[in-house]
Chain A
Amino acid sequence: MRYLWYLLPWQFSPAVLTVCVLTVALYLRGLLMLKRNGAPVGFWRPFVFFLGLAVSYAVLQTYFDFLAQHSFWVHCLQQLILHHLGPALIVLSGPVLVLREGLPRAGRTGAPRVLREMRLDWLRKPLRLAWRTLQHPLIAPLLFVGLIFFWLIPRVHFATMIDTRRYLLMNWSMFADGLLFWWVILAPKEEQGSAAVGYKVRLLILPFISMTQIVIGAYISLVPWQLYPIYALCGRALAISPMLDQQIGGLLTWIPGAMMSLVGVIVVLRHMMREEEAQLRMSPLRAETPGSSRPSAEVA
């Protein structure tokens, strides 16, 4: 029974629970609808989706959260999961199709129509602008590394770790930005609609975010003084020295953070190959001459 206690939230968040329950319900309904329509999605997509959601929930709403509040390296691991692993898995599973099927009929008609029916037509333009901005191939990576950097500025970090509201804001912002960024990188162009980002551009973004995380992580793990005294001041949760705690945290930002770019590159290359194959199938003659227009790409 003692072990079950570790699975309970350290600080219960109704918001996290609500979002997770709604998402799971929507997804399950979508799976059921697709199966009923004779287009089941199989095992792996739902598995990857639920895995991404589960690891994100676990680092927020279990005893892990307590450790993350009182040990710097666990904090770094938490942010790595919230910002990199969880959202990337969710995006990789291609959840949009399933989630859309899970919506009530009215919601499936597409965002513009829903807005029109709710008499919120005026919102369409600002929403579109906001989405385009967040998905911009220059802004998305800057926001991604900018957030990692921002929450690790020692002064900001100090305030964040003693203020519950700032702490929650950090976690939400990292997860939301994780979804936005990995959507730019990992989603197929066809699914990205009007804000689609080309595959070659993505291959430029990935080394950039990798390099930035290496610089941040290396700095944290190599400086010979304490950057984040708050963990020692408020009582450390694990029996390691503050300097070692900081060094492991830096390494976690440095190595796995940067390694995620490699995973990104592999996924993007797979998308590119798939696109090429599709082109060959559609118009074998045209694809042979380089520089010719590519009809299949216009679909995006």
Chain B
Amino acid sequence: MSVPSRRRTLACAPVMLGALLLAGCATRLQPDVTDVRGLVAPLEFNLTDQNGRAVTAADYRGDIVMLYFGYTHCTQECPATLAMLADALDRLGPLASRVRVLFVTVDPRRDTIPVLKRYVGDFGPHFVGLRGTDAQLTAMIKRYRVSYHDEKPDKNGNYEVIHSSVVFIFDGRGRARLLAQTGFSSAAITTDVRRLLEGGRLLEGT
């Protein structure tokens, strides 16, 4: 080696340490429910609800919000997930009055306001159907880092929509707290939500 040898310092320890600290997030609660405090963006949107009213996140302040993207023509995942959430609300008993499930359609072409109203009505009074323009919906999926796209239509013009399957859970201040993944059980959701409700932490500041 032709370069004169030199003393060099091994001062990369702080860099590595910082990197390790970053790794210490996303702790598991119940199986398939993840703590996402500080990771997912706070609740914020401009959409129209199933009664044709323009709504924003502020309209749901004070309630625990469960946010789910889907569409009414969905044959498997959406009804299963919403049924699971309805079951979880049943298990919560009187506490359910402080929970709202926001169902945001990723298929606004077919999910008109009346369609949406009939659909969410089937799941119970705590379910809200939300619809947006393309721009509103795009802003929303960018914010929550999810995606959707239409599959090719069949010969009858029916098509499926590929979309996210997670449920984001926000506290009364609109801060993201939990993320329920595909295959979660209603018992798991109930346990985690009740724990947060009873600790008073999920509704603090309301």
For the complex, what is the distance from the CA of A263 to the CA of B40, rounded to whole Å? Answer: 40
Indicate whether A235 sits within 8 Å of B162 (C-beta atoms), given known contacts A66-B147, A156-B22, A162-B179: yes
Indicate whether A233 sits within 8 Å of B164 (C-beta atoms), given known contacts A136-B8, A139-B10, A164-B41: yes
Indicate whether A143 sits within 8 Å of B145 (C-beta atoms), given known contacts A156-B23, A162-B39, A235-B162: no
Q: Is the interface of A mostly helix, strand, loop or mixed?
A: helix
List of A residues within 8 angstroms of B40 by Cβ: 162-163
A-B contacts, CB under 8 A, total: 98
B147-A237 in contact (CB<8A): yes
**In this assembly, does B17 line the interface, its C-beta being within 8 Å of a C-beta of chain A?**
no
Indicate whether A155 sits within 8 Å of B181 (C-beta atoms), given known contacts A133-B8, A198-B3: no
For the complex, what is the distance from the CA of A129 to the CA of B122, rounded to whole Å? Answer: 66
In the complex, which residues 138-156 of chain A have their Cβ closer than 8 Å to any Cβ of chain B?
138-139, 142-143, 146, 150, 153, 155-156
Q: Which of B1, B22, B23, B181 is within 8 Å of A229, CB to CB?
A: B181
Number of B residues near A (Cβ < 8 Å) is 38
B15-A143 in contact (CB<8A): yes
B9-A132 in contact (CB<8A): yes
Q: Is the interface of B mostly helix, strand, loop or mixed?
A: loop
Most buried by B among A166, A194, A235: A235
For the complex, what is the distance from the CA of A139 to the CA of B10, rounded to whole Å? Answer: 8
**In this assembly, does A119 line the interface, its C-beta being within 8 Å of a C-beta of chain B?**
no
**In this assembly, does B149 line the interface, its C-beta being within 8 Å of a C-beta of chain A?**
yes
For the complex, what is the distance from the CA of A167 to the CA of B25, rounded to whole Å? Answer: 14
B3 CB → nearest A CB, Å: 5
Nearest B residue to A169 by beta-carbon distance? Answer: B22
Q: Which of B8, B26, B164 is within 8 Å of A155, CB to CB?
A: B26
List of A residues within 8 angstroms of B36 by Cβ: 162
Q: Which of B34, B149, B181 is within 8 Å of A237, CB to CB?
A: B149
List of A residues within 8 angstroms of B34 by Cβ: 158
**In this assembly, does B182 line the interface, its C-beta being within 8 Å of a C-beta of chain A?**
yes
Interface string of B47-86 (1 = CB under 8 A from A): 0000000000000000000000100000000000000000
In the complex, which residues 12-27 of chain B have their Cβ closer than 8 Å to any Cβ of chain A?
12, 15-16, 19, 22-23, 25-26
B9-A133 in contact (CB<8A): yes
**In this assembly, does B165 line the interface, its C-beta being within 8 Å of a C-beta of chain A?**
yes
Nearest A residue to B141 by beta-carbon distance? Answer: A235
For the complex, what is the distance from the CA of A163 to the CA of B38, rounded to whole Å? Answer: 8
For the complex, what is the distance from the CA of A173 to the CA of B41, rounded to whole Å? Answer: 22
**In this assembly, does B163 line the interface, its C-beta being within 8 Å of a C-beta of chain A?**
yes
List of B residues within 8 angstroms of A232 by Cβ: 165, 182
Indicate whether A161 sits within 8 Å of B9 (C-beta atoms), given known contacts A197-B3, A198-B3: no
Nearest A residue to B179 by beta-carbon distance? Answer: A162
Nearest B residue to A133 by beta-carbon distance? Answer: B11
**In this assembly, does B146 line the interface, its C-beta being within 8 Å of a C-beta of chain A?**
yes
Nearest A residue to B38 by beta-carbon distance? Answer: A163
10 A-B Cβ contacts within 8 A?
Answer: A133-B10, A133-B12, A136-B8, A150-B23, A196-B3, A233-B164, A233-B182, A234-B146, A237-B147, A239-B162
- Given A136-B9, A139-B12, A232-B165: 6 more A-B contacts, CB < 8 Å: A150-B23, A159-B39, A162-B179, A233-B165, A235-B149, A300-B3
A residues near B, CB below 8 A?
Answer: 10-11, 66, 69-70, 129-130, 132-133, 136, 138-139, 142-143, 146, 150, 153, 155-156, 158-159, 161-164, 166-167, 189, 194, 196-198, 200-201, 229, 232-237, 239, 294, 297-298, 300
